[in-house]
Chains A and B, each alone.
Chain A
């Protein structure tokens, strides 16, 4: 086994996270459609602005307005205006197989060499009068719904998030890293109380220092992300921001407590005890309370602050999990460096004091 293999692993994983996380492009997506709302029974020219596409004039592209799972309207004409702009013409029938007078429908683009991509609620169609049975009879049941997925293994295109999706590899691993460091610190606090070896106390303190650093970085990356997606740097309406701020307060209080006690052994013992109590509070704050609220802006909202399914697809996983492991290992490495600096400080203080 190579000595310090986990440090090399940390470097490799973080480099992988930075390089692949930045370099791998997003899948194509639809940014905007104009006009956004029109009436049924008209012929509409839609200007479709797309993202990350490179349309060529002769490329075969199909556009659909999806009414429901069985029915869709295909374009009659399509013109490539620019590599990322299309003009599609639709003949909208007067009667749609839908009982709602006004509803948003998805727009689906399907191009060869690219695959297909969609925008939910892209256009709103208003029906003048409703006639479900007449519409069902008049509409042919087409073989709608046979689309290929985008061909390349790119990151998913998500409205609102767009490129900021890559922050997933920095923001979330910070909280994972903080939690693991706090657990490590708890372990060393318990070991200190069992053995009274002062080095365990120093390790425990170093881990909390890095955990707090990770917490601050997690808040900062989250704040930048929130500014772009939610439109605010910070909001106390969101439970996770509140509990993470309080968790940081908990550990700021830990350092304050340490600075207030002069006797070394006493300081180590009292702060280890406080560390254990505050870890329990931190677990309740970070993992129990967010599950108790009905609404959250974080993904997996509605009682579950974790994520999965739609929010984390397999291409994201290939970078996300390595990023979590890498940043966590880096955290422990930083804690080790802090611990060694502390030892050197003590050594020189003793030597020259």
Chain B
């Protein structure tokens, strides 16, 4: 537990040391939303939903793709000696989930600032954002660890990640769509499915990551 906390702090400190990465993500959100604002004056819920998740997906991929790439061989070796694989991946998953959640919230604020927001049930929408950042965080963290074994890790994070993320994204899109409706739809099934996918993936990743990590 203690080492996981230390690893999360390490991640955070690394992030702070490279402020340009985080700043880049913030600017990415703002410029995308501004382009949408400039090109579309008034639009309906469905395009809003589509654009929100496209922006969200790309922010998440950009933020997490460097998760393993930034570590030099020396850091890897040091971590390998100091902590177990399970601890490393848990710390990275928790950190990336939090990072993606912050970025998603920021994207939501930017959407609110520039574009009229059609959300009726904020509780449901925030549930979708929390579940989404959790799902995207764990999958992208693991996929980026796989992609890091290739020469072009950024490309492979997107290529390998997109089909694996699709079941999660489809359920998320349904959730946010339901949050636009005046009358609340029953979305219990979708939430259960999302939680099921996330749980199964976390379990598998904890088993599989040590195999990816040892080199």
Residues of A within 8 A of B37 (CB): none
**Chain A 192-205 interface 0/1 with B at a Cβ cutoff of 8 Å (1 = within):** 01000000000000
Segment among B52-60, B85-93, B112-120, B152-160 that sits at the interface with chain A: B152-160
Binds A, one of B15-23, B39-47, B163-171: B163-171
Complex Cα–Cα for A249 and B164 (A): 10
B14 at the interface (CB under 8 A from A): no
Shortest distance in angstroms between B116's beta carbon and chain A's nearest beta carbon? 28
User: Which listed residue, B152, B156, B170, touches A289 by the CB 8 Å rule?
Assistant: B170
Segment 111-148 of B: residues with Cβ below 8 Å from A: 142-143, 146
A257 touches B190 (CB 8 A): no
Contacts of A280 in B (CB 8 A): 197, 200-201, 204
Given the contacts A280-B204, A281-B163, A274 and B146 also touching, CB distance less than 8 Å: yes
State which of A249, A274, A289 has its C-beta within 8 Å of the C-beta of B167: A289
Q: How many residues of A contact B (CB 8 A)?
A: 26
Min CB distance A107 to B, Å, is: 42
B159 touches A256 (CB 8 A): yes
Given the known interface contacts A249-B162, A260-B151, the answer about A292 and B193 at a Cβ–Cβ threshold of 8 Å is yes
CB contact list, A208-257 vs B, under 8 A: 246-247, 249-250, 253, 256-257
Judge if B109 is at the interface, Cβ distance under 8 Å: no
Provide the bound-state CA to CA distance between A130 and B126, in Å.
56
A277 near B189: Cβ-Cβ < 8 Å? no
Q: Is A270 an interface residue (CB 8 A)?
A: yes
List A contacts of B193 (CB < 8 A).
284, 288, 292
| Contact status A257-B170, CB under 8 Å | no
Q: Does B73 contact A (CB under 8 A)?
A: no
Tell me if A273 and B164 are in contact (CB < 8 A): no
Bound-complex Cα distance A57 to B200 (A): 68
Residue of A257, A272, A273, A288 near B156 (CB, 8 A) is A257
B212 touches A278 (CB 8 A): no
Query: Which residues from 265 to 298 on chain A have a C-beta closer than 8 Å to any C-beta of chain B?
Result: 266, 269-270, 272-274, 276-278, 280-281, 284-285, 288-289, 292
Please give, as numbers and ranges, the residues of chain A lying within 8 Å of B190 by CB-CB distance: 292
Interface flag for B183 (CB, 8 Å): no
Q: Which residues in A have their C-beta under 8 angstroms from that of B215?
A: 266
Chain A residues whose C-beta falls within 8 Å of the C-beta of B170 in the assembled complex: 289
Give chain A residues whose Cβ lies under 8 Å from the Cβ of B149: 261, 266, 270
B208 beta carbon closer than 8 Å to chain A: yes
* CB-CB under 8 A for A261 and B150, given A249-B162, A253-B163, A277-B142: yes
Does the CB pair B163–A278 fall under 8 Å?
A: yes
Closest 3 CB pairs of A and B: A250-B163, A260-B150, A284-B167
Chain B residues at the A interface, C-beta cutoff of 8 Å: 142-143, 146, 149-152, 156, 159-160, 162-164, 166-167, 170-171, 174, 189-190, 193, 197, 200-201, 204-205, 208, 211-212, 215
Question: A interface vs B, CB < 8 Å?
Answer: 193, 246-247, 249-250, 253, 256-257, 260-261, 266, 269-270, 272-274, 276-278, 280-281, 284-285, 288-289, 292
